[in-house]
Amino acid sequence: MPTITGVKFKGNNKVYYFAPGDHRPEAGEGVIVETARGTEYGTVVIPLKDVPDKNVVQPLKPVIRIANDEDKERLAKNEAKKEDALKAAAEKIKKHNLEMKLVDAEFTFDGQKVIFYFTSDGRVDFRELVRDLASHFRIRIELRQIGIREECRMLGGVAPCGRACCCSQHLPDFERVSIKMAKNQGLSLNSQKISGLCGRLMCCLSYENGHYCETAKRMPRLNSEVKTPDGTGTVINNNFLKETVKVRLPLKDKEGFEIKDYAAKDIKARSTIADQLAQEADSGDDSDII
């Protein structure tokens, strides 16, 4: 099994594997590594570790060295130049009258290139802008268009739950999220209640979706008739976490009804919530939003 060191880079939650060589970096230390876009500064999150061959894409790029004071000073200088770079770029964008929103700027560790991230509703012809920026900065320029979710990841913020946005806090990749996941969990389909800061469906809808899909196979439809140990009644509520069903039962010897809770396994139903969701999907009543 190969020995790896796990490294994260600024603005990215994904962990990348590198060959440590003779170096023995500790968690939290900075390292200089060789990447596809050149030499970069990263932070160690996994010290030396043996991993199966199937988890590694060979050949692993090497850890060049553990970051020294000079490396940390260069990183700080690159970060300090970002604000001026954003200001200059914003002025150039306005000058060329381009429909694009500047989000962030990043200098590569060697200082030979600056990457500007932007969003736009459509394609942007920024060839003249690149030439203008290259003349201003005297280094290589890259303009990279990103989506609204990537913008939220870069800028960060507090989600409706009161915690930092998952995309900027810990998610290594964006997963597919759909309206069906909200339906599976019985959530309101009000877009304001199930959308994140980016305006798209919240990433966390996918976290418990597997549990709800599996439990839905055992839970009866709302307002359907079910057989309970105490007779036939009507389902008025389902608790997916406790896997219990609230049933309205008619009183046997007088008018009126009573409400009782039963374990889902103790009742018999003709149709489950999973059946209902499948019918809705077959009828086309299930649009995906990513």
Assigned CATH topology for domain 218-271: SH3 type barrels. (2.30.30)
What digits encode the pLDDT tens for the residues 38-52?
Answer: 899 999 999 999 999
Within the chain, all domains assigned CATH 3.30.300 are found at 78-146
How far is it, in rounded angstroms, from Cα 51 to Cα 275? Answer: 42
For domain 78-146, give its CATH number from 1.20.1300, 3.40.50, 3.30.300, 1.10.1740. 3.30.300
Which run of H or E residues covers position 153?
helix 148-155
- Token representation of residue 33: 């590594």
How far is it, in rounded angstroms, from Cα 273 to Cα 85? Answer: 55
pLDDT score, position 283:
62
Strands 30-35 and 63-66: what pairing? antiparallel
Q: Does residue 285 carry a pLDDT above 80?
A: no
One-letter amino acid identity for 222? Answer: L
181 pLDDT band (50/70/90 cuts)? very high
- Token representation of residue 6: 């796990």
Q: Does residue 149 carry a pLDDT above 90?
A: yes
- Token representation of residue 130: 């690149």
What digits encode the pLDDT tens for the residues 220-236?
Answer: 999 999 999 999 999 99
Within the chain, all domains assigned CATH 2.30.30 are found at 218-271
Q: Does residue 247 carry a pLDDT above 80?
A: yes
> How many degrees, rounded to 5, is the angle at CA 74 between CA 71 and CA 80?
145
- Token representation of residue 220: 């009866």
Q: Does residue 282 carry a pLDDT above 80?
A: no
Whether this model's pTM surpasses 0.85: no
- Token representation of residue 186: 């019985």
Question: Treating both helix axes as pointing N-terminal to C-terminal, what angle do 69-80 and 82-95 enclose, rounded to 10 degrees?
Answer: 30
pLDDT score, position 253:
79
Average pLDDT value over all residues in the chain: 91
